[in-house]
Amino acid sequence: MEINEIKEIWEKVEKEILNSIPESSHIWITMLEPVGFENDIFTLLSGQGMGIHMINQKYFNEVSNAFKKVLNREISFDIIFDEKLSKKMTEKIKKGRSELKAIDEKQKIVSNLSKLQSNSNLNLRFKFDNFVVGECNEFAYNLAKTVAEKPSEKYNPLFLYGGSGLGKTHLMQAIGQYILLKNPNNLKVKYTKTEDFINDFKKRFSKEGDDRKLMTQFRQKYFNVDVLLIDDIQLIENKKATIEEVFTLFDALYNKNKQIVITADRLPRELESLPDRLKTRFEMGVTVELLPPDIDTRINILKNLAKNDGINMSPDLLEYIAQTFSENVRELEGAYNKITAYSNMSKEPLSLNMAERLFASRYKKKKITIDDILKTVSEVYEVSKSDVLGTSRIAKVAMARKIIIYLARELTNESYLSIGEYFGGKTHSTIMYSYDKVKDEIKYNSKLAETVREIKQALKF
């Protein structure tokens, strides 16, 4: 008989047998392999001597009856021990075990991670992986990654600064998580918000003054670490005692060559009430600014969020949200959450129209045009419109022209091509070049960055 037919018969017989014997014994049956059916003898192979014994002793009747039921006549069966099957089975069992072990390991890692997380106070949501890199944050990202890879070796302290919602906390926590995952057992990482540090510091005093036990606890928590991440250090301004403690902590860690990462909304030297000795220490390593995200980065952040949620957003919708929320990634995320939640609840598919309804009040009432930009920039740089639109190479004019191009791309929906037309037929690549030039320069020239920011503000009101 053909092997396929044999298998078909066995499938039915097997089902019958399994219905008639206890589940704990199913394993002896399911491991059998049908190989022949000649002269009313059905032959099966088994890799388990024990299984053959069990079937012949305990379930002989059940197996015989199953055959009878399926074939409508009585036949006999023969189970033969097979070496190859036996080996195969041992491997299968081994594999099963190692799979289990792998799962076990995974669970161990996860539980280790959550233990590490609770000690380090990190929020595991903030990773390098889900930080979208664009020109506005590339430099900061690279420095952060270097610190994460080589803590205490290169940039110490790393000082990240910039406006609210631009990714400082995210990058700082990503450093912590990366270090923990790479050195789970031998590096102590501690993330603290400055306000928590201040509170802990206050708590260490009891009514009678310094409390030894609390003091030891406090020191243990902050002084006994390999990597200290302090978020929003500007909050210690005007807090004299805390400032002193931060100073002591900084020196203690720094002298032991421990990595320190600090964030603030400003440069150290702009934290007015801090003593000079602390400001200079904060600037001893490297300081880097996080800038508001440019339009490409904003779109990429939205795309990334959508991708993680398996959501599809049309280009016009992405562009609309990215244009409406231009200064702050937290708000951009908020807008994304709002519109996706709305779409979920209302069962209405995402659309540009929906965004317009939800965000109308946020959308710049008056759409900014290149004309508006030209007017404002010309005023700031004290140049004439005709000079800017002409070919003058005077530095001031050239600068104003570049900034207009940059802002036109950032704040309007104009393409490089249409911006080029506005400037009397400049090519796509000329416009792109000017745009890139300003974008680059902003990263290194904080005065220019400030001017551009002010012009943007002026344009919005």
Binding site for Mg ion (CB under 5 A): 168-169
DSSP classification of residue 235:
G
CA geometry: angle 165, 160, 280, nearest 5 deg: 140
Q: Is 132 in the site for ligand ADP (CB under 6 A)?
A: yes
- Sequence-ordered list of residues with C-beta below 8 angstroms from that of 225, at least 6 positions apart, any chain: 188, 189, 190, 253, 258
Alpha-carbon 189 to chain mean position: 19
Dump the DSSP string for 79-102: EEE-HHHHHHHHHHHHHHHHHHHH
Q: Of Mg ion, ligand ADP, none, which one does residue 164 interact with (CB within 5 to 8 Å by kind)?
A: ligand ADP
Pick the closer one to ligand ADP by CB: 43 or 328.
328
Which residue, 290 or 302, has its beta carbon nearer to Mg ion?
290
Burial class of 374 by CB neighbour count within 10 A (0 to 12, 13 to 18, 19+): buried
Question: Does 329 engage in binding with ligand ADP (CB under 6 A)?
Answer: yes
Partnered with residue 38 across adjacent β-strands are 41
Q: Give the helix/strand (H/E) hosting 427.
A: none
Q: Which does 175 bind (CB under 5 to 8 A by kind): ligand ADP, Mg ion, none?
A: none
Q: Is 301 in the site for ligand ADP (CB under 6 A)?
A: yes
Binder to ligand ADP among 330, 338, 375, 453 (CB under 6 A)? 330
Q: What is the DSSP letter of 341?
A: H
Q: Which is nearer to ligand ADP, 330 or 453 (CB)?
A: 330
Stretch binding ligand ADP (CB under 6 A), from 22-30, 82-90, 168-176, 378-386: 168-176
Looking only at the bridges linking them, the beta strands covering 286-290 and 205-206 are unpaired
323 binds, among Mg ion, ligand ADP, none (CB under 5 to 8 A by kind): none
Residue nearest to ligand ADP (CB): 167
Which lies closer to Mg ion via its Cβ, residue 120 or residue 169?
A: 169
Residues of this chain, 109-128, that bind ligand ADP according to CB under 6 A: 126
Backbone angles phi, psi at 240, to 5 degrees: -60, -50
Residue 305 CB, nearest approach to ligand ADP (Å): 8
**Two tokens at 7?**
């298998």
168 or 281, CB closer to Mg ion?
Answer: 168
333 binds, among Mg ion, ligand ADP, none (CB under 5 to 8 A by kind): ligand ADP
| Contact flag: residue 420 with ligand ADP (CB under 6 A) | no
Bridge-based pairing state of the strands 286-290 and 33-38: unpaired
Query: Where do contacts with ligand ADP occur on this chain (CB under 6 A)?
Result: 126, 130-132, 137, 164-170, 301, 329-330, 333
